[in-house]
Amino acid sequence: MEGETPRRDEGPSRQTDLVLQITRSELQRLMEEAGRNAIAQHERITATPVEGARREERERGHDAEEFVVGSSERERGKRREPGISKAEVDDAGRQIERLGKQISDLKRRGEIVAQNRNSPFSNKILTEVVDPSFRMPDLPKYDGTKDPQEHVAAFELVMNLYGQSNSINAKLFVTTLTGKAQEWFTSLPSGGIENFEQLVQKFTFHFASKRKQKRSATYLFNIRQKEDESLKNFIGRFNNETLEVQDLRVDMIVSILIHGLKKGPLASALARDPPEDIEQLMKVAQKYIDEEEINTMKDGEWQRSKERGRWKDIREKNMRGEKERDQPYRPKFH
């Protein structure tokens, strides 16, 4: 009886050892794989959309290769290396978990940099992580066919409301690029862009040929008020055209406006007392626009009143004629 007791205790122990078949080389491989996964996860967060797609393709190919190689290594390991206990497996799991947390902390402090060889961004930009709660506002896309400065201005106008860092703005700006513009960005040298300003400079320089060409001041002399055009419509059209000309002085704008106006009170007022700034010019123009609209309204009322009076006379005349026809006939002579 005493000899049988050890055999009953050894049975479960041997069964447990048989279930937990894992070699030390496999354990080391698991730890290395956990480290690679942690770094890959950080790179997926910081990478641009194009780089993320390329990385996923590489990872799928790499996983398939590791599956084949790992299977053969496990088969060879079963033959060559002894198994390890459950306690060692649990301890290795805890080490892997601690390793992942340490890597995340180091990356958060910027002490570990993602090895992204394909990104044009520098390590300083790559280590900046976008807050998961941030929602990108709806911005127009840029495909390389429009004015690059207008696109940058629209982007900055919106992003100034959110107070993001310089590096985050650089990352978010790239998400607005499509087509040829996106191809241009991915073709830049790796790690060459240090900040948002440098990215904008390269962007506007590359697509400079798409900028809108400004008109010269002499072009504005061709703008004339049409015979049936109201003062309000002409001033609005004139203002839109001046936006296409750079570095216009106030005295030049006044001279061009007088040249384009029809003969009238506004042209006389501007020639008699030229405004000193744009605000004063618009104030004077608005005064005469209001006067013209009031006069037009009065003319319309007078015309309608005149029409009503004419129709009233016609109706009264018709009524008198009807009364004369309705009276009985009375001979003038008896």
DSSP characters over 271-309: HHS--SSHHHHHHHHHHHHHHHHHHHHHHHHHHHHHHHH
What pLDDT is recorded for position 257? Answer: 92
What helix, strand, coil percent values describe the chain, rounded to 5?
Answer: 70, 0, 30
The mean pLDDT value for 290-317 works out to: 72
Least confident range of 175-189, 236-250, 278-292: 236-250
Burial 276-293 (b: 16+ CB within 10 A, else e): eeeeebeebbeebbeebe
Query: Is-contact 128 184, C-beta < 8 A?
Result: no
In this model, does residue 180 exceed pLDDT 90? yes
In this model, does residue 321 exceed pLDDT 90? no
pLDDT in tens, 220-270: 889 999 988 999 999 999 998 888 887 888 999 999 999 999 998 999 999
In this model, does residue 120 exceed pLDDT 80? yes
Query: Is-contact 217 245, C-beta < 8 A?
Result: yes
Q: Which one has a higher pLDDT value, 178 or 11?
A: 178
What pLDDT is recorded for position 155? Answer: 93
pTM over 0.85: no
What pLDDT is recorded for position 298? Answer: 78
pLDDT band at 4 (very low <50, low <70, confident <90, very high): very low
Domains of the chain: 16-118 (no CATH), 125-210 (no CATH), 217-293 (1.10.1200)
Query: CB neighbours (10 Å) of residue 172?
Result: 20
In this model, does residue 83 exceed pLDDT 80? no
In this model, does residue 85 exceed pLDDT 70? no
| Bridge partners (DSSP) listed for residue 177 | 142
What is the overall mean pLDDT for the chain? 77
Six-digit token pair at 76? Answer: 């060879």
